[in-house]
Each structure stands twice: as C-alpha cells, then as structure tokens.
Amino acid sequence: QVQVVESGGGLVQAGGSLRLSCTASGLTFDDYAMGWFRQAPEKEREGVSCISSSGNTIYDPDSVKGRFTISRDNAKKTVYLEMNSLKPEDTAMYYCAAGPRFGRWCPLDQYKYTYWGQGTQITVSS
C-alpha cells in the first residue's frame, strides 16, 4: 500500500521561510518523479515544482522560481520543498505526489501523478 505523507506546513509571516517534507512508502521511491502542487481557496490546483527520478528539477516560472527549492533524499524516501521569501499569495494547501517513473524530466501536470498525500496547509500573513 502506497502512502504519501506531507509535513512542515504552518503559519508564517510574509518574507519568512518554511521547509516542507514528504515521505513516500510502499513504492520504489528512487524510480518516481515527485511533485509539489498547491491549491488556494476557490482556485484550481497548480503545479509548484517537481523533481525527476534522475534529479532534474522544474519550477513554475511565474510564481515560485528563485524562491523555492525542491530536493530529494532517496535513502530517506523523502522529497523537500524549501520555501523562502514567502508571500501572502503562497497561502494554500500544499500537496505532494508521486508520478511518472524513470523519466529524465518531470511534468508539472497533476494528471500525470498517481499517488497523492493529504496535504499540508501553509498560511502566509501580511
């Protein structure tokens, strides 16, 4: 049984930092691309960043590039999202997902991802 569990969310002031963690079990973690997605109230879920099984990274260029950093530790079966210079518009539920296997690159398309966590809330106050 595959389980994906996020942690690290919370309340932070604008300009602050947070690090999200996501641990996946029940699958061969090394083989999977991992993605972070977010959904703000009354908005559709959007891709934030992803990292392929080979370690290549993709960021949504309009909103987070330069502020967020994704990384993975295959030994710990964990993917991280380091978030700096947080803005109120970053407020959302953040989801981690395991997606395409063996790809050199990863998609920021939520429909390409198979296993999802329950999400962790991030609220950025102004």
Residues 6+ apart with CB under 8 A from 42: none
pLDDT at position 64 is 86
Give the HSE-up count for residue 70: Cα atoms under 13 Å, Cβ half-sphere. Answer: 25
pLDDT at position 6 is 97
Q: How far apart are CA 115 and CA 62, in angstroms?
A: 26
pLDDT at position 34 is 98
pLDDT at position 102 is 80
**Token duo for residue 13:** 């002031």
pLDDT at position 103 is 82
Length of the chain (residues): 126
pLDDT tens per residue across all 126 residues of the chain = 999 999 999 999 999 999 999 999 999 999 999 999 999 999 999 999 999 999 999 998 778 878 999 999 999 999 999 999 999 999 999 999 999 888 889 999 999 999 999 999 999 999
pLDDT at position 124 is 98
Give the HSE-up count for residue 82: Cα atoms under 13 Å, Cβ half-sphere. Answer: 6
- Residue 99 host element (H or E): strand 92-101
Q: How far apart are CA 3 and CA 116, in angstroms?
A: 8
Cα 46 to Cα 13, 63, 77, distances in angstroms: 22, 11, 23
Question: What pairing do the DSSP bridges indicate for beta strands 57-59 and 78-83?
Answer: unpaired
